[in-house]
Amino acid sequence: MANLSQLKFAMATAVFLSVFIFGLFIFGIVFVLNLGMTMGLLVAFIGSALFILLQFAIGPAIVSMTTKLKYVKSGESPWLEETVKELADKSGLPMPKLAIVPNNTPNAFTFGRTTSSATLAVHEGLLKQLNQDEIRGVIAHELGHIKHKDYVIMTILSALPLIAYMIAQVTLRAGIFSNVGRRNKNDNGGAILLAIGAVSFLVYIITFLIVMRLSRLREHFADAFAAYTTNSPHDLESALAKITYGLSISPKPPEGARAFYIGDPATAKQEIKRIMENKNKYDLDEDGVLDERELQLAMEKEAHDTWSHLNSMFATHPPTFKRILLLKEIEKEMDTGKYTNNEMYNHV
């Protein structure tokens, strides 16, 4: 049984661990390079802080440009505007900016710096491939991210693995070129750079895993929020199934900040690919087609597969079946008539 305080604790823990590990990493670089303790740490701290602030400041603009989204003008999309307004009011949130992305894949995402300046963007593919009830479920899910403010934490946290990765790339390449071109055998500068690069890459992996774990957890909380806000978990269940399948057959490679979307194309492609590779095993009636029941059974078995579990550690999103399973538990509770929105996260 979970509650919103556990998500907040998870976010705080992720921030602390990432900053602590990154801090030790910077301290190690300063110590190895003998830069002078005070000045080295000051430069490292200020540099990292400026990088994070820069990403936080220009992040929304970068998302807008890279996705080519178009903001919806008042009255331009009446049903969508009314639906977002209705669910935002029900959630106790200000009306977010609404945008449509000219992309045929079924997806949606939320970004911004604050609750009052957040943008909720939906793909054209989502509006075409899902029915209105399913779209409501997706919109409620994205409003859940705004309600929880987790997208702000993800924007800040994602900077740390990126910095570590950049340092690893630069130092590893510099170390290799230094070793190749060195004339003095006693010069160990290349070895030091390679060591820093290796440690940088390790820090990147550790901080990346911390960020990905939080990313998966926030999706479960947003799913639960959507289920209770719409009072119809089944709509989001159906939406997630369509989104996963739609993303899996998209010819475009995954791109952008995938953690911010309701569905990750990379995860979707991997899920469906593994199922199709074992299609004969899951085709119980041997008609050559996986119906809805067979597909759900396949997703359930694949979700419990050891290899899939290991892969999910690096995923931005939980396996689709685990998300659907959570929604089904909420649906059963609602069918009893004994539920309350005050305990909406109990099943997470």
Q: Report the DSSP pairing between strands 97-101 and 119-123.
A: parallel
In eight-state DSSP terms, residue 261 is B
Kindly report the CA angle at 45 between 40 and 51, in degrees rounded to 5? 125
Q: Which helix (H) or strand (E) holds 122?
A: strand 119-123
Closest Cα partner for 321 from 305, 299, 339, 304? 299
Strand order in the sheet with 70-71: 70-71, 97-101, 119-123, 108-111
Block residue for tokens 């993303």: 247
Say if CB 226 and CB 236 are below 8 A apart: yes
Cβ distance 178 to 190 under 8 Å? yes
- Report the helix count and the strand count for the chain, using DSSP H and E: 14, 4
- For residue 242, what are its two tokens? 């369509």
Taking the CA atoms of 324, 229, 134 and 117 in sequence, report the sign of the dihedral they define.
negative
The whole-angstrom separation of Cα 2 and Cα 145 is 17
Whether 142 sits among the annotated catalytic residues: the reply is: yes
CA distance 203 to 25: 7
Query: 135: Cβ–Cβ under 8 A, 6 or more apart, which residues?
Result: 80, 83, 122, 126, 127, 239
**Active-site entry in 134, 142, 302, 333:** 142
Catalytic site positions:
142
